Structure 1
Amino acid sequence: MFEVEEWVGGLWHRAVTRYADDRYAEAAVTLTQMRKEVGVLYRALGGERAVRIDTAAERPVTLPRTLWQRVAGSHRRLALPYLNEEVLALPGEVALFPAPELNREVYRMLAATAALSPSVAGGLDWAQAACHRYVALCAAYPAMRSRYDALIKAYLPLRIPLQRLPSELQDRETRLRNALQHLEFAAMQASDMDGLQPPPFWLYPAQGEGTGPVRREAPAHETPPEDKPPAAAETDAGKKAQGEYVEDHDGDKGLLVFRLENLFSWSEYLKLDRTADDSPDEDAARIAEDLDHLSLSTQEFGGGQRIKLNLDLPSASEDDTPLGPGLYLPEWDYRCRRLLPDHCLLQPLLDHRAPPCAPPPQLRRAVKAVRARFEQMRPMRFWRRNQAEGEEIEMERWNEFCADRIAGGAFEQPMFKSFSGRLRDLDCLLLADLSMSTDAYVDNDRRVIDVISDALLLFSEALDAVGDRFALYGFSSCKRQHVRFHVIKNFAEPYTNAVRGRIVALRPGFYTRIGAAIRQSTTILRDQKASRRLLLILTDGKPNDLDLYEGRYGLEDTRQAVLEARRAGLIPFCITVDKEAGDYLPYLFGDKGYVLVNSIQRLPRELPKLYATLMESK
């Protein structure tokens, strides 16, 4: 009996969903297909290079729905495009039109209007700004007017007819249609859009950044009593997360059982007192914005049951030795377009516990091969004989000259020798990312940090064999007041087993505040005497930290640090294993300023080869 009910229910669900679906699935175009074109168009028309193209999350909306749509429970959430300082968020799929080219045109229109200067829509609400953006776009690029008119001509018949709308919406729908057709005379305001279908080629406010066509549902729970924490309904009305107060779960049980029809779902439960947590989370608003549902316990726990979900710094006895009190460094704030002086505290560290060691057994064959290859590239020097001037006198020629002078037949002849040969005037500093992401496993028994350690060993053996001066440093961070800068080998120290021991003993750190590490590396490398100074940066991800150093802020600071290195006469070059690096590294280092190693396991073999290529080409 149950199988029959399930079968009938499945048929009903598929039938209702099919009748309620007004998309043209066969003509759908995805953001994945359009990402490259959208990115090129957005930046070619003047869009910010640091703004990333991403998929917009669905948000609740209030729309007029057909009977089938109400039965199916669909059309309650939409992915609305928006633009802010960090992201241009676009729908993951557009299947509005029966022609794929028109669906692609929606993406192009969104990219073109987003690329306009923010001053175009200054002082206007989001509905007025959406119309004004198209007015400015058609004024700047007259050819866009015909494309816009063609899009509107195809779009208006797809909207719900006026006679099928509630009477209170018909007048607003008429004004919206007139606004779409006659942009220069548009008089739509954000309040006029309540309950109407949002045009898919407009830009809307991001969630939590102002009012938009977002449904605000009444909470399902009762109003909390006065002794419960105050709700932030007034300030966070646009957030997508819903909240409710729940009774305390059974603290003796570590698992929760949730029954959905006949399926059981198990999840971990930790008894945390969020109402009594006294550690402020600077990123709490952004984290809460990403959640669909928040549950807050109404019971308070004792102080002994509190726990901080954060990374603790190691104790002094277990940590590396600090070298001095630390260095205060500036940081670039793109919002005010200036360097913030003394904003970061960088602490140089030296691992005093690492025992000296030879290359590990599994690397000895590779070390021998690398040294043999690079020794052949060592510049050879030799004596040039019979020179008119030089560092030393050739004694044989001198004796002949003295004998000829005594015999009365002396004449001047070249009798010096000079030490000559090609010298490669190059210093290299390698800066390795030691953030906690390197603690991930690449196979059953090896972590990313182990592969990085092998790569640094082979790199060091290669440079030692070729005779180039080099230095090795690592970095990680835990907010701006604790940027860890690990000294593995400086320029004055010879490459010995002590250095090899520090490389083998490398451990994962915390986060990736790369701008401060690049600035300190620039200072060190700038003081070297070589005519060519190469700054190699080895990383497995984009800049991030616990505080504001994430997204565009971190990217802009890193880019500024790279520009400072170039202005100091250095050659910055990035080596990464992050497969998404193509989205942001061209902005930081330029199209030819980085290389992607497709597999982390190949890094030890590829790093010396990359250096050999760079020292010949730079």
Structure 2
Amino acid sequence: MEEFIGGLWHRFITRAASRSHPAAAVRLAEMERSAGILFRALGGDPGLRVAPAAEVEHGARRNWLARLAHSGEKAALAARDAETLRLPAEIALFPDRTLNRDLYLWLIAQGAALPAAGLDADSWISANQQASTATLAAFPGFAARYRRLVAAVLAERPDPARLPADEAAAEQAIRQALAEPGSVTRLPAARRPPQPVALWLYPAPVAIDRRNNAADPTPAEQRESGKSADATDRRRQASREDMPDGRNGLILPFRAESLLSFAEYVKVNRSHEEGDDEDPVRAASEMEQVAVAQDSRDTASKVRFDLDLPSAAHDDIPLETGILLPEWDWKKQQLKPDMCRLDVLDPRDAEPCALPPRLIVPARRLRRQLEALTPARRWLKNQPDGQELDLDACVRAFTDRHSGHAASASGGYLSCERRERDLCCLVLADLSLSTDAWVSDEQRVIDVIRDSLWLFSEALGATGDPFGLYGFSSRRREHIRFHRIKDFDDRVDDRIRGRIQAIRPGFYTRMGAAIRHATQILARRPESLRLLLILSDGKPNDVDHYEGRYGIEDTRMSLHAARAQGLRPFCVTIDREGEAYLPHLFGPAGYSVLRKPEELPVHLPRLYARLTAG
């Protein structure tokens, strides 16, 4: 009964103290697609990704009801750094849903107008006002929306007359800066920080450095395999601490139930104990600041696996080794030559096999659909030579001769001509370890890719177009694996089907190097239309620094080089977040996102037919 009454009181006082309007809430997931499009349309950096912002403690004054309910201590502050635009996961500040949506649009416009390096603690107030001024000057259509938002925000902010003198001065300065952007250079000093300004972006929190550290004794692959992903992908404030050695134990000369109050004043090392529950993930999601230390103990949350390279006796057969490729350094804005080392591999112990029975009917149906693309034979008349006589031309020549007219100079033969399609296609499949994930109760991503390659190779046999099948994975820049499945000159037979059956997932996704090598293969083809079709399930990443903006920009530069060679790149992905970064890589019409991965085997041949129909 006591717990029941306590729960009722907690819900009652929390609702009473809340200043949000859940019925009018707008979520970032609803704005995800339009947010990226608007951000790039307003001149924002196209390489930035949009992600949810973390809730942080703002330290501003709260009313007595909020203090009683222990609510309102944290707020999700919009922020921007060199790689990410962070927006609140949900906006329910106003009772009008249209205003909440307009607030999202204004924050996106602010992020596009802010400097590329982000904000710092000293100049973020003036930078926000300059961004507001620039946005209103460049896009006058935002003026009416901005005035409505300012009026609604001021109505929600505390009354300066009820604040202490120092806080009232800061609040008056904020109100003036919102009404007249550019009129305030800095806020007056106050004991407490002011209430967060919903129309401004704040300096981004320091991100946890997840890159591989040479001083870290824990293998990077095990760290990658044992991590538990935060479902919201929110950025945390972080600080680095020295790992306690555990030699000096904490003596507790008091009752155990007082440990909680004592821990508020003493740093207590809480090691991670493995278990089946999700308490560590939930605890981390509630932390405002995360302390990170190097630990030599190996832990894993769910799955244990080893990403070490297999021995030569069990690895795939190397065909070419030591192929050196460049890589684009986004931070230095230069192409570094010979940065990556690529090996071309052939599947080991790939036994020839027939097409699986479950794919025979879909393959036959796709072949019939693609037969329309097959070039048809055509008879050309009045040719000087050919396989048969042109009877119409012979009759005309005989008639002209007997009527006294000069005979036609054209030929009297029929020639059969077959007009070939002057195109080829290279399919580059992502075979990284992420493709081992399950998309349904019966299929993994790698199974979907395998079925897609089977059906694609069977369907293209009806068109006669030359094509090649390749796969790639990587483990750092010195070991990039490029798997040969089918060369352009190979026939589709049981041997090729056996190679498709032998593909297996492993390692990481250094996409830029794989695209550069595929470009070299396609550049040697004589066809006029050369299509580079990429199958992927996520962003480019590797165990070293190749992640985030670095991997995106390197892949983008490799695609620029492919287009300069006359290639046409196109990406098919099952990554639901792909629309946030794929337009930056492939352009608005250069990619396709599949919401249902199991449709990829049938979708891929049809997509090829659409891309090459002209």
TM over 0.5: yes
Cα distance change on mapping 1:109 and 1:192 into 2, 3 Å: farther
Q: CA RMSD of the aligned region, Å?
A: 4.1
CA distance in 2, matches of 1:309, 1:371: 40
CA distance in 2, matches of 1:15, 1:200: 26
Kept in 2: contact 1:332–1:556 (CA 8 A)? yes
**Structure 1 residue runs without a partner (length 5+):** 229-241, 257-264, 270-286, 397-410
* Correspondence list, 1:414-433, <5 A: 414=411, 418-433=415-430
How far off is 1:24 after superposition?
3.2
* Partner of residue 586 from structure 1, selected from 583, 586, 589: 583
* Correspondence list, 1:91-490, <5 A: 91-116=88-113, 118=115, 125-141=123-139, 144-145=142-143, 147-189=145-187, 194-208=192-206, 244-246=267-269, 255=275, 293=290, 311-371=307-367, 374=370, 377-381=373-377, 387-389=383-385, 414=411, 418-490=415-487
SS across alignment from 1:246 = coil
Cα distance change on mapping 1:226 and 1:168 into 2, 3 Å: farther
TM-score (structure 2 length as normaliser): 0.78
Kept in 2: contact 1:429–1:472 (CA 8 A)? yes
SS across alignment from 1:345 = strand
Kept in 2: contact 1:126–1:190 (CA 8 A)? no
Partner of 1:599: 596
SS across alignment from 2:113 = coil
Kept in 1: contact 2:58–2:195 (CA 8 A)? no
Corresponding position: 1:554 with 2:577: no
Kept in 2: contact 1:441–1:448 (CA 8 A)? yes
How far off is 1:336 after superposition?
3.3
Kept in 1: contact 2:35–2:105 (CA 8 A)? yes
CA distance in 2, matches of 1:53, 1:344: 30
CA distance in 2, matches of 1:606, 1:558: 24
List per-residue Cα deviations over 1:366-386 (Å, max 9, x = no partner). Answer: 444444555565434477687
CA distance in 2, matches of 1:288, 1:344: 37
List per-residue Cα deviations over 1:466-513 (Å, max 9, x = no partner). Answer: 322111100112222222110111123333322111111110122222
Partner of 1:403: none
Kept in 2: contact 1:58–1:80 (CA 8 A)? yes
Partner of 2:231: none
Deviates more, 1:538-547 or 1:78-87: 538-547
Deviates more, 1:140-149 or 1:103-112: 140-149
Cα distance change on mapping 1:423 and 1:68 into 2, 3 Å: same
How far off is 1:37 after superposition?
4.5
* Partner of residue 537 from structure 2, selected from 537, 540, 554: 540
Cα distance change on mapping 1:59 and 1:523 into 2, 3 Å: same
TM-score (structure 1 length as normaliser): 0.77
How far off is 1:193 after superposition?
8.9
Kept in 1: contact 2:239–2:289 (CA 8 A)? no
SS across alignment from 2:203 = coil
Paired residues, what number?
549
SS across alignment from 2:320 = coil
AA in 1 matched with 2:479:
H
How far off is 1:13 after superposition?
0.9
CA distance in 1, matches of 2:8, 2:375: 78
Kept in 1: contact 2:541–2:547 (CA 8 A)? yes
AA in 2 matched with 1:52:
R
Kept in 2: contact 1:128–1:190 (CA 8 A)? no
AA in 1 matched with 2:495:
A
AA in 2 matched with 1:55:
P
List per-residue Cα deviations over 1:340-361 (Å, max 9, x = no partner). Answer: 2222222211113111222233
Corresponding position: 1:28 with 2:51: no
Cα distance change on mapping 1:477 and 1:218 into 2, 3 Å: closer
Kept in 1: contact 2:206–2:236 (CA 8 A)? no
Corresponding position: 1:60 with 2:83: no
CA distance in 2, matches of 1:324, 1:291: 50
* Partner of residue 49 from structure 1, selected from 46, 49, 74: 46
AA in 2 matched with 1:109:
W
Deviates more, 1:414-423 or 1:85-94: 414-423
**Structure 2 residue runs without a partner (length 5+):** 209-234, 249-264, 392-406
List per-residue Cα deviations over 1:151-189 (Å, max 9, x = no partner). Answer: 333333422233543455333333333333343330325
CA distance in 1, matches of 2:236, 2:504: 48
Partner of 2:574: 577
CA distance in 2, matches of 1:426, 1:82: 47
AA in 2 matched with 1:171:
A
List per-residue Cα deviations over 1:295-330 (Å, max 9, x = no partner). Answer: 8799x879xxxx998622222111111223221212
CA distance in 2, matches of 1:339, 1:122: 28
Cα distance change on mapping 1:313 and 1:249 into 2, 3 Å: closer
CA distance in 1, matches of 2:533, 2:568: 8
How far off is 1:144 after superposition?
4.6
AA in 1 matched with 2:170:
R
CA distance in 2, matches of 1:540, 1:34: 22
AA in 2 matched with 1:206:
A
Kept in 2: contact 1:127–1:190 (CA 8 A)? no
Kept in 1: contact 2:45–2:112 (CA 8 A)? yes
How far off is 1:146 after superposition?
5.4
Kept in 2: contact 1:113–1:137 (CA 8 A)? yes
* Partner of residue 84 from structure 1, selected from 70, 76, 81: 81
How far off is 1:571 after superposition?
1.8
How far off is 1:35 after superposition?
3.9
Deviates more, 1:353-362 or 1:480-489: 353-362
CA distance in 2, matches of 1:560, 1:217: 32
AA in 2 matched with 1:479:
R
SS across alignment from 1:432 = strand
List per-residue Cα deviations over 1:65-121 (Å, max 9, x = no partner). Answer: 111111211111110001122222111222323333333332232122221151798
AA in 1 matched with 2:92:
A
- Name the % identity: 43
List per-residue Cα deviations over 1:123-145 (Å, max 9, x = no partner). Answer: 86222222232233344445655
Partner of 2:72: 75
How far off is 1:565 after superposition?
1.6
CA distance in 2, matches of 1:309, 1:289: 29
Cα distance change on mapping 1:377 and 1:61 into 2, 3 Å: closer
Partner of 1:239: none
CA distance in 2, matches of 1:176, 1:355: 72
Kept in 2: contact 1:107–1:201 (CA 8 A)? no
Kept in 2: contact 1:428–1:533 (CA 8 A)? yes
Structure ranking higher on relative contact order (CA contacts 8 Å, 6+ apart):
2
Cα distance change on mapping 1:125 and 1:414 into 2, 3 Å: closer
Partner of 2:508: 511
How far off is 1:515 after superposition?
1.6
Cα distance change on mapping 1:291 and 1:359 into 2, 3 Å: farther
CA distance in 1, matches of 2:137, 2:278: 58
Kept in 1: contact 2:239–2:290 (CA 8 A)? no
How far off is 1:568 after superposition?
1.1
Cα distance change on mapping 1:316 and 1:293 into 2, 3 Å: same
Cα distance change on mapping 1:444 and 1:43 into 2, 3 Å: closer
Partner of 1:530: 527
AA in 2 matched with 1:134:
S
Cα distance change on mapping 1:380 and 1:31 into 2, 3 Å: closer
Cα distance change on mapping 1:567 and 1:319 into 2, 3 Å: same
